Chains A and B, each alone.
Chain A
Amino acid sequence: MTTWIQSLQERVGNGREFHFDSGRFIRENITKSWLFTLWLIILTYLTLAYTISQFRSLPFTTGVLVLAWLLTVSLTVYNEITRSHNTLTLWLRNNLYSSITNTLLSLLLVLAIVAAVWGFIDYAFLRASFTRVPEEAQAILAQFDSPGANWGAVLDNMRNLMVFRYPKEDSWRLWFVILYMGALLAASTFVFSQERFRRHRIRQALTGIWLATPVLTFMLLLGVKPVPGRTVDFLIRLLAVLAGLVALFFLSRGLLKRFPSLIVSFLVTVLWAAAAVTAVYLLRGTLVAGLNPDIAWGGLLLTLIIAVFAIVASFPLGVLLALGRRSQIRGIPPWLTYSTAAVFTAYYLYTNTLPAFAAATTIVQQLFSLWPLLFLVIAYLFQKYFKGNVVALFCTFYIEGIRGVPLITVLFMSIILFPILLPKGMEILSTWRVMAAAALFAAAYLAENVRGGLQSIPKGQYEAADAIGLNTFQKYRLIILPQAIRTVIPAIVGQFIGLFKDTTLIAIVGLVELLGVANLISAQTDWLGVRREPYIFLMLIYFTGSWVMATSSRRLEKRMGVGER
């Protein structure tokens, strides 16, 4: 955009006499187009009106600001004319005063921003109370006509906000988890960034620890411990289980080496699943959860647990769903689909439609009684759009179904419907229900992310994997998924940030996470009706959390992109 200052500048030349082309100046800054002129008039009016109204409420500040504005504008213009810009005026010229409209806008916005910031400072600090004693806070705030923030409510509830009712004597578990995570993270960053640890045992060990971490943390947070009096029993069983697992590990490795085939690897998988069940069975009864999550977990702790659990647990499911949706497995052949549909149609036409058709009195009722024909329609659509692939059908329906409805309904469904869907008498805690719902919900979104990654893998990668003789399982595990997931890490981080924010919704279904605690504060007798302050504090937490995650993910992305592609 040509600017008025530029038009001035061109007239000045190198030391030549200053000559001002007013016609051009007006053309470029005022009468460019009728819309522009209108905008300029409105802006001028707004700026004037706002400046005057600010003069009334904040005479001193406004005066200083307007003076500063006048001063810097004239300085910039002068420097422009004489071509003697310093860093400051050059910056001002480029960023604030590049045209008449921008110059006006800058004044308007400076006044508005200063007023807003001042208002906030006034509210948050000058007229605020910081004491944790409610009576003192009342006394302090009573001095002001319009009292400011009552931060005591937040300070007094800091522990509640962080961990809510997590027992004090169990606090060491939290500290332990934090330290453990910190150490693990530091160690991994170091080891994985060093080329000399490639293929080193340390790297495998760390990967193993990472895989075990979710379970361990979980047990720690739940306060899991041996049943009193059965510690020895527990230790013996634990040793037995560990020994069994180690044995199984070598057994399966040998098996796979000796009989490298898909069926054997499937058998080994089954074997491991059986081992897991046996292990749980053996250890059952010897361990007891020391804490009830519905009661003990809350505040930021619960927020983090749910967000992390959802993303971790949704990962395998999401990957499976994505693979399923894209799967090219040979579908159920048309003849089978159509004959099955025909059998159903015939059966229901005979048992259902015949009597209903006879009983129908209107054409509409007669038409409705023909509903079994829908089986054929469904069969046709199924063959047309899914080529008989039930797996793809199921995954697509799951993904689109979940993505089409709001999270809040899914959460309520978990609270209300889980008990109905489970066998009579089987109860599960609300926390588990909500965590399951969050994971099932996240899986649908994760699946779409992963699918995007899968789509970005060129066909040649699949062909090369086939050509070198990898089986399907190896192809996905070694070639396709590592690449697909790597490309969607930023999207997954984005999704995790989304989950972190979305956990607030569980406050509505009655669990007391961060927002739940904030809502409770206003009901405490000490801090009755204090609402804004906890909310502002929460905004700070969420903003910092999301912002830090987003920024570091961007940095990670940049670093990982180097050299590997």
Chain B
Amino acid sequence: MAELSPTPPKGQESIPFWRDGRVIGVLAQIAFVVMVVLGTAWLLNNVNDNIGALGSFRCADGTESFRCGFNFLSIDAQFDISESIIRYEPSDSYARALLVGALNTLKVTVLGVILATILGTLAGIARLSTNWLVSNMAKWYVDFFRNTPLLLQLFFIYFGVILLFPAIKDAIQPFGLPIFLSQRGINMPGPVFMPSFSIWMAFLVLGIIQAQVTWLFLGRREEQTGKSSNRGLWAFLSFVLVAVLGWYVAGGTANSQGIMVTNATRVREFGDIETLVLSRLPVSDLGDIDTAVADGSLSTEALTTASLQICAVKDAPSEVNFTSQLRRAGIPFVVNRTDRLNQATEAYVAGDCEVLVAPQAALASERSTLENGANHSVIAIAETPVRISVPRIEGLNFIGGIKLTPSFAAILIGLVLYTGAFIAEIVRAGIQSVAKGQTEAARALGLSESQRLRLVVLPQAMRVIIPPLTSQYLNLAKNSSLAIAVGFADLWAIAYTTLNQSGRSVQVFMIVMAAYLTLSLSISFMLNWYNRRIALVER
């Protein structure tokens, strides 16, 4: 072989740098960095020119620092927020106001995601129905909501429907259900959770585990004996058993609810209330009240005065717990509601009512503040973990139930209908993507209809469905910022008010962006995790 190798004059060492592939890349990178840094510096300089002078970044000691730009968060917000999960008053700080907004956004997002998934799944399945009408209705629903702007839908729902609902006294009750549509929004029955709910919750978790265990155990036995047992049913029954048990245990051991009465009433336990009220009525049995009112021997005014007079805090679970027991016993009552417990106590002391309803602990501490506490006694009242509270019209207000304000109802309904249409398409495509052959193979294996759905179709469809579903959830979260259009106090609406009021635009935008990015990233993170998990299970 020839030993004479080519020796070009320019060896590897002497490549001019502008032609060296290694250097060009790094130079381009550095040039890019310099450009970005210069651009940012220019922008920051402009920001400083424009608003730095306004003291937006001034610290307490008069120096200017970027860090101090966020000091305004501890100033009083001084604006009102129409609805909030946590306690909020205008005297709270901007930070707390923003937190209220963030929680409201979270509330809309979580509820919206759940409801839109349900609606979307139903509509997606309906799209594939063998019934022509059903599948076409679903198709029109999907087409309409996907092809019109969400904001337009929101405006229509809010201004064109909800705000045109009748006044409270003419509230619409669809199909005679206890759901009220009025200018106040939507009022409907809903659960009221008592403190003992947490105990019951523990039992429910236990029940799920129990059902899981039963299912697995029976499954193993089925494999051994080769005989099929109705394991779904047994698992369900064992869950119900634990749940029922938990219900009574939670209710029985709970001892948090109570009422306060004066000793003069001679009420020592719940049963004594009936005696007390009966003693003021011209009837010998509570069941006779209606007839007495009907035949005129008892006027409504007299009934009202003779009823049990109750003082309670507005929207408190304690009241629901107590009054629903009164209602079951047939005892007539009148409730006098106040915003805070100390006001209720004042009313009670002033003699506006004979019974003060609240949690026992609160009552005990209230009693200790009374001058003659010994004259009053606190009586335990039984509770159940959950009570269903049904809305009623009392005067010009709704009492009980769940209230959806017009704004909240509009944004929630709008988001659910809109996102549901997109999810329906995803679900349909997902189910259709599971090839017919798969279905037939499963039939050939002799799997039952439900087994086929559960074991063959769903797992495969899920893999197709999850990625686009994630982006729909993300869209829902982001679209919730349109709440500002219907006056719901979500994160962006409150941030905007904060921005206008405090003038700290750059900082507020940074906070809002960070919050939405966190929300988006956590949703995609969770669903990616889930996606990876089902992808693994599939292997």
Chain A residues proximal to chain B, CB less than 8 Å: 1, 33, 53, 95-96, 98, 102, 105-106, 109-110, 113, 263, 329-333, 336, 388-391, 394, 401, 403-409, 412-413, 416-417, 419-424, 497, 501-502, 504-505, 507-508, 515, 518-519, 522, 531-532, 535-536, 538-539, 542-543, 546-547, 550
Stretch at the interface among B146-154, B322-330, B351-359, B435-443: B146-154
Alpha-carbon distance A389/B32, docked complex (angstroms): 10
Report whether A519 and B137 are in contact in the complex, using a CB–CB cutoff of 8 Å: no
Stretch at the interface among B206-214, B289-297, B392-400, B481-489: B481-489
Interface string of B477-515 (1 = CB under 8 A from A): 011111011000000100010010000011001001100
Taking a contact as CB atoms closer than 8 A, the residue among B33, B134, B137, B484 that contacts A390 in the complex is B33
Report whether A109 and B25 are in contact in the complex, using a CB–CB cutoff of 8 Å: no
Taking a contact as CB atoms closer than 8 A, the residue among B21, B147, B164, B478 that contacts A546 in the complex is B147
Interface string of B11-54 (1 = CB under 8 A from A): 00000001001101110111011001000000100110111000
List the A side residues contacting B47 at CB < 8 Å.
420-421
A55 smallest CB distance to B (angstroms): 15
List the A side residues contacting B30 at CB < 8 Å.
332
Report whether B29 and A532 are in contact in the complex, using a CB–CB cutoff of 8 Å: no
Report whether A408 and B481 are in contact in the complex, using a CB–CB cutoff of 8 Å: yes
List the B side residues contacting A421 at CB < 8 Å.
43, 46-47, 50
Please report which residues of chain B, range 219-266, place their CB below 8 angstroms from some CB of chain A when the two chains form the complex: none
Taking a contact as CB atoms closer than 8 A, the residue among B149, B175, B521 that contacts A515 in the complex is B149
Closest 3 CB pairs of A and B: A330-B25, A95-B132, A406-B481
Report whether B151 and A507 are in contact in the complex, using a CB–CB cutoff of 8 Å: yes
Report whether A405 and B133 are in contact in the complex, using a CB–CB cutoff of 8 Å: no
List the A side residues contacting B156 at CB < 8 Å.
532, 535-536, 539
List the A side residues contacting B143 at CB < 8 Å.
543, 547
Determine the main DSSP class of A at the interface with B. helix
Return 17 A-B CB contacts under 8 Å, by A number.
A95-B131, A102-B130, A330-B22, A330-B29, A404-B520, A409-B513, A416-B505, A417-B506, A420-B506, A502-B149, A505-B151, A515-B155, A531-B159, A532-B164, A535-B160, A542-B148, A546-B147
Report whether A98 and B152 are in contact in the complex, using a CB–CB cutoff of 8 Å: no
**Assuming A106-B131, A336-B26, what are 18 further A-B pairs, CB within 8 angstroms?**
A96-B132, A102-B130, A110-B133, A113-B137, A332-B29, A389-B29, A405-B513, A421-B50, A501-B150, A531-B159, A532-B156, A532-B160, A532-B164, A535-B160, A538-B148, A542-B148, A543-B147, A547-B147
Alpha-carbon distance A110/B132, docked complex (angstroms): 11
List the A side residues contacting B146 at CB < 8 Å.
546
List the A side residues contacting B485 at CB < 8 Å.
508
Could you count the A-B residue pairs with CB atoms below 8 Å apart for me: how many are there?
A: 168
Alpha-carbon distance A475/B148, docked complex (angstroms): 40
- CB nearest neighbor in A for B518: A404
Taking a contact as CB atoms closer than 8 A, the residue among A424, A539, A543 that contacts B46 in the complex is A424
Chain B residues proximal to chain A, CB less than 8 Å: 18, 21-22, 24-26, 28-30, 32-33, 36, 43, 46-47, 49-51, 130-134, 137, 143-144, 146-152, 155-156, 159-160, 164, 175, 450, 478-482, 484-485, 492, 496, 499, 505-506, 509, 512-513, 516-517, 520-521
List the B side residues contacting A106 at CB < 8 Å.
131, 133
Report whether B49 and A542 are in contact in the complex, using a CB–CB cutoff of 8 Å: no
Given A420-B46, A547-B143, the answer on whether A109 and B137 have CB atoms closer than 8 Å is yes
Alpha-carbon distance A389/B505, docked complex (angstroms): 32
Report whether B151 and A504 are in contact in the complex, using a CB–CB cutoff of 8 Å: yes
Alpha-carbon distance A263/B450, docked complex (angstroms): 67
Given A390-B33, A542-B149, the answer on whether A419 and B134 have CB atoms closer than 8 Å is no
List the B side residues contacting A98 at CB < 8 Å.
130-131
- CB nearest neighbor in A for B157: A535
Alpha-carbon distance A169/B148, docked complex (angstroms): 33
List the B side residues contacting A329 at CB < 8 Å.
25, 28-29
